[in-house]
Chain A
């Protein structure tokens, strides 16, 4: 924080002497749309917070199609924006192509590792947070069957699923976890109707808690859970308020924090790989007035203990991406 303040002070100082103009940062959203109540919206929240705190301005880009990724990064870099922050693993290939062309621009990619000198890769340990919500789900379910609805079928989302199953099995050895993915292309992030159908299928198979990691598709999952009288689990942002009383908890992934930090670090930010997990408070689960009555005291205590144990290393949550497989199903 101190660093930020010093940097800000120097920035204001520079502006006052009308010195060289500092480049504005840019934020490029993924295809799931800016207001998905989830991943992209979290990024936007972080950028907004930076804006209100510093009075700065930033450029934002919303993609219309897959083909625009490279073009969007290039345009932002050409316009002199730095850092250029993009949220979503799908930018990986495009960034690897563009980044070498603009050595003076700093790029930040969230959810993907691109190893280049001018790129900061922020990755989250979603398996840790998913483990905790899986643990809570396992202790809350009455039927012994819980569900998972993923967005696009990629290793990143399998990582959510794998952590979730591990947590659930830790709570209840013989639990059944039904796993579904919405699709295999990026439209899977914004198809609430399909999300609702998948949730209904899982409810039909006996699931009474359903966790989603599917962006805007997940809104359909949570809606169906609320309508069918079972519990949903939100993702990325705190989604407990969307259907109060029907969302058990949310696995919080602080994309906002990553964006805000990147913006605050400014045009000369440190590059490299920045993993954020429970220990860094980059990952967590939501507890507020909307779900206080839903999570039992036992589940709450167990989740808190598990959180400490994961941070201290006593519990090692398997990361799907490390081995491309999950030890539990």
Chain B
């Protein structure tokens, strides 16, 4: 494998990892606040639909993304109402959201566009276009780094860079701000937060809103960045892979980026190297496709040590009277 191929592979990795990064960070906010959220998949899906559908109708990808975020946030709030206010089972609520999104997108899509649940193909203006980073010409003469900058880092849609910026932002928010401290506390020990005079419910709702925002961006990227329109169930399990990545990363933002990149890399590799031969042995493509899942199991079981979720995760907070 030469250097150019490697750069193209990493280029593809960045693109494919972006929806995972968004979803993983979304899950991080929710779970750090003590709300298990297996509805990431559904939130991304509904956002992907409304982003593409609105972009197709208005011709503006930004209005599309806003609609996607709005849709995803309303599902996040729904999850919040069910699991914070009414203290319902968070897993059941999450599953319900996934089913709701899968069904609603198909139903509304068929009603609006009569295309069997798809949106029309988006033209160039109603999709996120690739942007070239500045100084691409200037660095082109530098060996190794120049091609890396041009081939791999430059030429993605703006949401890819948003995802990359969201990681340090999340780290800063989580570990360097008062909000972050309280968010982490409410996921570990809500009683203490409550005793401190801070509303547990309000904190958790804010976490869910951030979760909705990030899922919305991830979904919008899927349908208006990666693909040129929405097709049914296009998230195809990405929300669940993001959850696995989150556990993998032990609920920390920077490791979350790495695990998402790893999953993205494996997906990119399975697409590009269909007939891979290592030392004369042909590796079947099926093996490449299941590799992310096998790796998750092996690494989780053997190498990662214990992944301890936030202590209050999954249990609704009941204020003592």
Contact = CB atoms under 8 A, between A and B. Distances in A.
A216 B119 CA distance: 13
Contact of A197 (B16, B115, B118): B16
A216 B231 contact: yes
A37 B12 CA distance: 26
B74 interface: no
Interface string B257-272: 0000000000010011
Most buried by B among A193, A200, A219: A193
Contacts of B268: 197
Contacts of B229: 192, 219
Nearest to A228: B130
B116 A196 contact: no
B241 to A, nearest CB: 14
B227 A220 contact: yes
Given A34-B116, A62-B116, A242-B121, A204 B8 contact: yes
A192 B271 contact: no
A194 interface: yes
B116 A193 contact: no
Interface in A200-238: 200-201, 204, 216, 219-220, 223, 227
Interface residues of A, number: 27
Contact of B274 (A37, A181, A193, A204): A181
Interface in B238-290: 268, 271-272, 274, 285-286, 289
Nearest to B271: A197
B130 A35 contact: no
A57 to B, nearest CB: 18
B198 to A, nearest CB: 42
A329 interface: no
B167 to A, nearest CB: 22
A201 B268 CA distance: 10
Nearest to A195: B227
A219 B229 CA distance: 9
Interface string A150-176: 000000000000000000000000000
A192 B8 contact: no
B309 interface: no
A183 to B, nearest CB: 8
A35 B118 CA distance: 8
Nearest to A62: B116
B228 A35 contact: no
B130 A227 contact: yes
A12 to B, nearest CB: 30
A180 interface: yes
Contacts of A190: 231-232
Interface residues of B, number: 30
Nearest to B15: A197
A201 B231 contact: no
Nearest to B233: A190
Contacts of A181: 274
A35 B16 CA distance: 25
A184 to B, nearest CB: 6
Given A196-B226, A200-B12, A184 B121 contact: no
A204 B228 contact: no
Given A204-B4, A204-B8, A196 B227 contact: yes
B222 interface: yes
A194 B234 CA distance: 11
Nearest to A187: B236
Given A196-B226, A197-B16, A242-B121, A180 B232 contact: no
B271 A220 contact: no
Contact of A201 (B115, B222, B271): B271
Interface string A120-137: 000000000000000000
B285 A193 contact: no
A242 B123 CA distance: 9
A216 B234 CA distance: 12
A227 B131 CA distance: 12
Interface string B1-38: 00011001000100110000000000000000000000
A191 B226 CA distance: 11
B271 A194 contact: yes
A52 to B, nearest CB: 17
A198 B8 CA distance: 11
A35 B116 contact: yes
B204 to A, nearest CB: 33
A33 interface: yes
Contacts of A192: 227-229, 231
Given A35-B118, A197-B12, A242-B121, A219 B274 contact: no
A216 B231 CA distance: 9
Given A192-B227, A220-B228, A198 B271 contact: yes
A204 B268 CA distance: 14
Contacts of B232: 33, 190
Contact of A193 (B121, B124, B227): B227
21 contacts: A33-B116, A33-B118, A33-B231, A33-B232, A35-B115, A37-B121, A180-B274, A183-B289, A190-B231, A193-B222, A193-B227, A193-B234, A194-B271, A197-B16, A197-B268, A198-B272, A219-B229, A223-B121, A227-B129, A227-B130, A242-B121
Given A183-B289, A184-B286, A197-B272, 5 more contacts: A191-B236, A193-B222, A197-B12, A200-B12, A219-B229
Interface of B: 4-5, 8, 12, 15-16, 115-118, 121, 124, 129-130, 222, 226-229, 231-232, 234, 236, 268, 271-272, 274, 285-286, 289
